[in-house]
Homo-oligomer: A and B are copies of this chain.
Amino acid sequence: MIKAGILGATGYAGLELTRLLLRHPQAQVAAVGSVSFEGKKLYEVYPSLREICGLECKNADAVLAASDVVFAALPHGLSQETAAQCAAQGKKFIDLGADFRLDDPEVYEKWYGCEAVHPELHQRAVYGLPELFREAIRGTDIVGNPGCYPTSVALGLAPALRAGAVETEGLVVDAKSGTTGAGRGLAQNTHFPDCNEAFSAYKVAAHRHTPEIEQTLTRVAGKRATVTFVPHLLPVNRGILSTIYARLKPGFSLETVRGLYEDAYRGEPFVRVLPAGAAVNIRDVRCSNYCDIQLYEDPHTGLLIVTAVIDNMVKGAAGQAIQNMNLLFGLPETTGLDMIPPAF
């Protein structure tokens, strides 16, 4: 059994990760960490866990000491020292935050306002999107788990970009996320009466996931990709739907592009390319690790339209982190991730 430790276990991503790992057949939750709730039982913070998990929140040192692999679901900037400690102690490290996602330390500092203090660790770190970078993940011990929005966009565009089927400039991503993406911390815009029956865009063309999205798309396309990224806050708990607009290049039709996607994802257990006529819905991937994708063409403007949905808490955070853990430990990638989305 893999001994897993989770830092930031009382945040939403950390808690979801704990919940899923508690049912992982090859792992056990060895320890959970929380700064805010140290000394409390996890079920005192999340009563849904009563009589299921008796773990008490510990400090970071105690979590590291108990674990073979450490997951960090912490505010950005706080994972670097932990990564260094893990490296020193020969433990694997999976960061659900943003500290190890961006290759260029200057870009990281510009968007997050933090310094990259361990350049050698950033070089060792691999961007943990298994469908695109599986082999590299297998060969590392530090994983930067992708952001929720970037996961949906990268999976939604990779086959088209890799084949050169769409222009890499002028991509537009109009994304909508459920409120768990904003975390457990209280805020006016997620206060129920303000958020319910409401809908708005936020951080328009200014969200920190923009450079992460562009980095991945550029890598996949083999040339510089630029994206206009506009996120919106949906009055639901879970789910991201990204609607992506790209200009088809001459010679590519919807049919050829659909073929590219089907080929790219045929063997992928967590990506479902829907047949023509079906529509993706955040409902259909809820509480699961699936990414569902549908493709359209606007015949009178020549745009390719991709819709991609994930559960932001699972494929967009905790589920993907487990998928990465499975890769790091040589397990089948689907181990512990066979959740079937409830249809309602």
Contacts and interface: CB of A to CB of B under 8 A. Distances in A.
In the complex, the count of this chain's copies comes to 4
Interface stretch (A102-110, A121-129, A197-205): A197-205
Interface stretch (A68-76, A89-97, A154-162, A281-289): A281-289
A232 B50 CA distance: 22
B238 A197 contact: yes
A195 B245 CA distance: 25
Contacts of A176: 176, 199, 232
A300 B226 contact: yes
B172 A245 contact: yes
A228 B343 CA distance: 31
A226 B344 contact: no
B172 A48 contact: no
A48 B232 CA distance: 19
Nearest to A171: B301
Given A204-B296, A285-B48, A22 B191 contact: no
Interface residues of A, number: 85
Interface in A164-192: 169-170, 172, 174, 176, 178-180, 184, 186-188, 190-192
Interface string A259-295: 0000000000000101000111111111110001000
Nearest to A187: B186
A179 B192 contact: yes
A192, A230, A282, A299 — most chain B CB neighbours (10 Å): A192
A287 to B, nearest CB: 6
Contacts of A52: 340
A38 interface: no
A338 B180 CA distance: 24
Nearest to A296: B204
Contacts of A47: 274, 278, 281, 284
A15 interface: yes
Contacts of A86: none
Nearest to A170: B301
A301 B170 CA distance: 7
29 contacts: A12-B193, A16-B342, A19-B342, A19-B343, A23-B338, A23-B340, A46-B343, A47-B284, A48-B340, A50-B284, A179-B196, A186-B188, A192-B192, A192-B195, A193-B237, A194-B344, A196-B235, A197-B282, A199-B241, A199-B282, A200-B283, A201-B241, A201-B279, A201-B307, A204-B296, A226-B300, A228-B245, A228-B303, A313-B344
Given A197-B237, A205-B305, A287-B287, 18 more contacts: A16-B343, A48-B283, A48-B285, A48-B288, A50-B272, A172-B245, A174-B245, A179-B192, A179-B196, A191-B191, A198-B282, A200-B241, A200-B309, A201-B243, A204-B296, A205-B301, A232-B241, A235-B235
- Nearest first, the 8 closest Cβ-Cβ pairs linking A and B are A205-B298, A198-B283, A174-B174, A186-B186, A200-B281, A48-B284, A193-B344, A48-B341
Interface of A: 12, 15-16, 19, 22-23, 46-52, 169-170, 172, 174, 176, 178-180, 184, 186-188, 190-202, 204-205, 226-228, 230, 232, 234-239, 241, 243, 245, 272, 274, 278-288, 292, 296-301, 303, 305, 307, 309, 313, 338, 340-344
